[in-house]
Structure 1
């Protein structure tokens, strides 16, 4: 097992060995049942909070997991480690030609996991039906604004119409609930949030507004240039009547609010606010992550990665892969540390880690 340091302060406390069986647990007792799988670091948008206009130095193809390698790791995750939810991410997963094949292979596993996709929606209109047939259950579409000029400024591409078409196609294909993920622009975001919620209520999509996290490629994130969850809530409450959702939150990252009708007599939808920075929910985290090049990350902001690709290609058997994955999760830190004075942003940007 190869462990690579990534420049973030690591967890420093003596630990016993990781359990050899049972659920995929860390030393704080959190059980990981949700696997985020990045299929590629490539993307066809250039969002300002993610990467520069010219793009990045993309991962060489031979470093990425082959489909058969990925399916093997997915099988180990589901059948040996207790993973019940698999979400495919990127980069942009719709640029991966074998996406439907991987989804179908995942759907054939027993016990069958729930399968979701996080996408920017460009190209979703052409593939929603095929993805549904392959076994995809639902989608989250990243959409930060429904204003065409704002969209072009944020993504550096004029593709809003394609994303809206993708949302419609996903809904028609039965990939429901269709969720919309929004990271708000510091200048136009509060205005955009109100319009986004109106749009989602109209089309029966579920909006999730996410605080911007320090995961940009240029390491230029500044707390004073991000919109906090409390500000989002205040802006929405000036236009909508909101009441906290009564359902238990569990490990879900979003705090849900019911949107009441203008008369206040009925619920017309829900909106979620994910306060990743200002109100961290690390104590309930149930996620493990696999990058496109076969590295296990136990947190978005992990200090280390565990190289399963090298173990795979070096002839490691399933027992060795399982043990390495368990050991990686066992050392998960108590929290992401964004609000600590010694926090250091990870070298990898979100596009290379996976959402």
Structure 2
């Protein structure tokens, strides 16, 4: 079956699947405090609907699936869904993005279900700083979950740190050392102007940070990919330290974008920084055949834009990150 190729000759083989838009934290760059405009549970795709739709995507060459949210571990019985997805022909890699507050309870079951890799959001190693960014004092639970994931044997475990000027940028070296000690891969991320929360975030250009860390830790460019995502990596000579930089503002990666995002209500977003979308829930609940779903997916991929416009139009996207899927 022909692969999914968009109008700009990019092969789409990676889907980020949001299983909930709810989260138990309120990170200052993501969901505003007091926000209650979440999707109605009756609008959430069921596990049967998710499995069917992902099955069609996988037959079209989408082999990498990442479970996201919100906080995906707030969705009941998530390991059961993971097991169903890993059993689908063509799904070669299932991973999970999490804030790790619930991970200690679920790590072993997720690993047994076929989840291979973890991305854990951790913006600070200081309890006070963590709480000020996350809006809740859950630092000990996050660390407990992170170490439970390590014991369960997930590999690699990537630490996602949104670098915020004047908030946590003084901790970058400490986070580098922490990740090297535990064998984690650190990924530093520039805040994106999504919704009022994202636009109010303390944006930090990561290019000078990369140059500084290269010098201080003797890092060189990593030529082999370390995942399906957009990070550009540096590594130490002994291979014990890998640091990725996700730079949607200072050095965008749109030319190689291979991913789309499916939100909890069945909306497929083609780009974080644009409004193009396609609604799959009406098709799934309206009796569409697999052939019709396949045609719809191909139609949707044709909508994928060439690039985002975070720099040119920073106020364009009013939806919050949790609404799109991480």
Normalising by the smaller structure, the TM-score range is over 0.9
Normalising to structure 1: TM-score of the pair? 0.87
Q: CA offset at residue 197 of structure 1?
A: 0.7
Is this contact kept in 2: 1:63–1:293, CA < 8 A? yes
The answer to whether the aligner puts 1:336 opposite 2:308 as a matched pair is yes
Q: 1:121 offset after TM fit, Å? A: 0.6
Counterpart CA distance in 1 for 2:250 and 2:7 is 25
1:184 is matched with 163
Length-normalised TM-score, structure 2: 0.95
Question: Is the partner of 1:328 in helix, strand or coil?
Answer: helix
| Greater RCO structure (CA 8 Å; 6+ sep) | 1
Q: CA deviation at 1:318?
A: 1.0
Distance 1:188 1:237, change over 3 A: farther
| 8 A Cα contact 1:32 1:286, kept in partner | yes
Q: Which residue of 1 aligns with 2:280?
A: 308
CA, structure 1 residues 173+251, in 2 after alignment: closer, same or farther (shift >3 Å)? closer
Match of 1:198 in 2: 177
Deviation (angstroms), 1:231? 3.1
Unaligned runs of 5+ in 2: none
Deviation, structure 1 residue 242: 1.9
Q: Which residue of 2 aligns with 1:9?
A: none
Alignment match, 1:259: 236
Q: Does residue 168 in structure 1 map to residue 147 in structure 2?
A: yes
Deviates more, 1:240-249 or 1:122-131: 240-249
Equivalent pairs, count? 326
Which deviates more, 177-186 or 227-236?
Answer: 227-236
Helix, strand or coil: the match of 1:321?
Answer: helix
Work out whether 1:245 is the aligned partner of 2:222: yes
One of 173, 186, 190 as aligned partner of 1:211:
190
Name which of 231, 234, 243 aligns with 2:208: 231
Picking from 8, 15, 26, the partner of 1:46 is: 26
How far the C-alpha of 1:302 sits from its partner, in A, is 2.8
Check if 1:93 corresponds to 2:72: yes
1:349 is aligned to 2:326: no
Q: CA RMSD in A?
A: 1.8
**Secondary structure of residue in 2 paired with 1:76:** helix
Equivalent-residue separation in structure 2 for 1:69 and 1:248 (angstroms):
32
- Provide the C-alpha distance between the structure 2 equivalents of 1:267 and 1:38, rounded to a whole number of angstroms: 33
Measure, in 2, the Cα distance between the counterparts of 1:331 and 1:135.
32
Name the larger-Rg structure: 1
How far is 1:56 from its partner? 3.1
